[in-house]
Amino acid sequence: MSEVRAIFITGGGSGIGRATARLFANRGWRVGLADVNEAGLAETRGMIGGMASSYIMDVRDRDAWRASLDAFATASGGRLDVLFNNAGIGSGGPLAQATFEEIDRVVAVNFVGVLNGARIGYDYLARTPGSCLLNTASASAIYGTSGLATYSATKFAVRALTEALDGEWHGAGIKVRDLIPGFIETPLLDALPGNSNRTIREAVTAAGMELTSADTVAEAAWAAVHGDKVHTYVGKTAHRLAFAARWTPKGLRKRMRRA
């Protein structure tokens, strides 16, 4: 088995995935990049150079998961130290106005895609001592966010999966961690999902939440992989929501009603 540590990142074509790929590669890791965005993958790989390989992959496609992980395991000399289940899509607007197609897509990408990565990735992680499954949740997994109901529900599910697998996989020597960042400053926030008349960015700011940089989340990913916390909160928004959910839930409830 190769001595160079290896990380496989979904959603590697932009945002958190790109920032994390650059950070790990700069620290000597081999990086596997997966995304449906071919152009974004090429850009990220160009930033990293020879330590990266890329795979055009939809996280909903289980055959693509197996093929990509097989190929990356070959490239990495059999290692998979970290599988970063990061790919996700944004969704906003009132649930009563959302199309069923949008609801199905958000659930399939944001949660079923993470389940696919965990289920299929287990066999690869189990071959590498001290490996880690890292999932991207969200500050929206701390308290259900008005205007982001489906998105919030999927991120709660990711958080629950992380806790469950932290228990299940302990005996196999696999750490399971998640990141709970505030909303990330990316162009995805400017989307007008479904029948909504406001962008995701507008919904986030209306709820009183700030935006977090992708580079900040990448540093948190490094800390999560090397630390012992199941949940890593990232940014002021996440820490404030966690505090409010525990100590002032009535006030938080009122805020969400206004939002």
- pLDDT tens by residue, the chain, 259 residues: 779 999 999 999 999 999 999 999 999 999 999 999 999 999 999 999 888 999 999 999 999 999 999 999 999 999 999 999 999 998 878 899 999 999 999 999 999 999 999 999 999 999 999 999 999 999 889 988 888 899 999 999 999 999 999 999 999 999 999 999 987 877 666 766 555 667 767 766 776 667 888 999 999 999 999 999 999 999 888 888 877 778 777 777 887 777 6
Catalytic residue list contains 151: yes
For residue 132, tell me if it sits in a domain. yes
For residue 14, tell me if it sits in a domain. yes
Q: How many folded domains does the chain comprise?
A: 1
Position 207 scores a pLDDT of 64
| Residue tagged active-site, from 124, 143, 151, 233 | 151
Task: Look at the chain and count its residues.
Answer: 259
Instruction: Give the separation between CA 182 and CA 131, rounded to whole angstroms.
Output: 26
Position 91 scores a pLDDT of 80
Query: CATH no. for residue 94?
Result: 3.40.50.720
Instruction: Give the separation between CA 182 and CA 139, rounded to whole angstroms.
Output: 5
Residue 159: which domain range? Answer: 6-258
Position 243 scores a pLDDT of 77
For residue 53, tell me if it sits in a domain. yes
Instruction: Give the separation between CA 142 and CA 173, rounded to whole angstroms.
Output: 28
Count of beta carbons in the 10 Å neighbourhood of residue 65: 22
For residue 1, tell me if it sits in a domain. no
